Structure 1
Amino acid sequence: MSDLSWLTARPIAHRGLHDLNKSCWENTLTAFKRAVERGYAIECDVHLSSDGEVVVFHDDTLKRLTGTDGYIWQRTAAEMGALRIGGTADHAPTLTELLNLVDGRVPLVIELKGIPGKDEGLVAKVGAALRDYKGKAAIMSFDHWLIRDFSSHAPGIPAGLTAWGDQVHELEAHFSMLAHNISFVSYGVGHLPNRFVSFVREKLAMPVITWTVRDQDAVTKTFAHADQMTFEGFEPDATPAA
């Protein structure tokens, strides 16, 4: 396993360093710029547009973030770029725009969002975008069908499982993904501790990051059972979580 100490070296800003969508919205260039300025690693989400481009956006539907009806897979990257996020001047950037902005200054953790039947080529596109990127970057997903493509379509890029749950069937599903060359885990902080996370940390020496940390209880739980947090709603270096 390659050295992934950079993945856990700094707190990870969930969808950038936004202000809970009051004036600085999630997954925008403004939120990413704020994270870079403060030296936080960045977590973001990506989808595939109708013309096969990788767009930074969390939801599969457009309504919550843009006020527009429809789905992201129905829009081209240019059409997504023309939509305003939360009524601000920000747009939904492409992955290329994000990479150009960050330019290796802080690590990136990119979550691939699958939509069955609409995500063919997403892993390969992300892999191609990161192939010549000089900064530290990792990919991850909840979606097992995407993770199965990571090693063949995004080789050499640190790959992780995004997961949650503490029921037997959930944990067994997570264990099954260890056969697919993952090198870290991002786990829902509310379901810690559990035997899957304990196993990958203690037996496999695999780093574990948590999501989404919003208060001091979650900070404490993270560092009792994992290695770093994905946070929002406060600044770890500036203001203690309330």
Structure 2
Amino acid sequence: MTTSFTGPEAPGTGGAASVDVVLPCLDEAAALPWVLGRIPPGWRAIVVDNGSLDGSDRIARALGATVVHEERRGFGAACHAGLLAATAGIVCFCDCDASLDPADLVPFVREVRSGRADLVLGRRRPRARGAWPLHARAGNLALTRLLRRRTGLRLHDLGPLRAARRADLLGLRLSDRRSGYPLQMVVRAADAGWRVTEHDVPYLPRTGASKVTGTWRGTVQAVRDMSRVLREAPGREEAAL
């Protein structure tokens, strides 16, 4: 068993939240107070610790978050562990580095609840120099063009801020456990005929160093992971691990 969780609102302890926000976390102690302080009232923060050495799990728990420990390294592994730990009808995802404001998810959730969309994504709009490095932006642009060719979706970003119904997400049987997880979610949603929408959100300089696209090397690896996802045949689904 690689996943465990603790916290004041862990499943089975009461205090059910109306929305769960999954926050994959690797050494984000400096950013956690700001991020968790921006979670809307009545929502639950699920911080998925992916092997932090800076006490992130302790800080998150002290600030009232449910903490999930995922031993398998990888962005997708952390995101999916959070999805499995979620119990609310709607689940959101947000980076835990203070580059995105979880409060911006409120209209996303409203759109899902109303039935106007099945998956809502945030299109990042940089608000300061250095918020979105050139290499990361170039990789994102290349992938959105490939995604358009593969699915027909005219999206501009594959950012991590997103919202959807928990049951529907589980039904996608997402299997990628690396950087391809966010893209696989969109590809399989498109293949399933979901209504996917996109809205502008402010993008701020992150706190600390990026674990995925902070360097050209990291960006290239992320693009490789995502390119593998784009080669999936429509309708092909592997059992989630």
Short-chain TM bin: under 0.3
User: Larger relative CO (CA 8 A, sep 6+): 1 or 2?
Assistant: 2
TM-score by length of 1: 0.26
TM-score, structure 2 normalization: 0.26
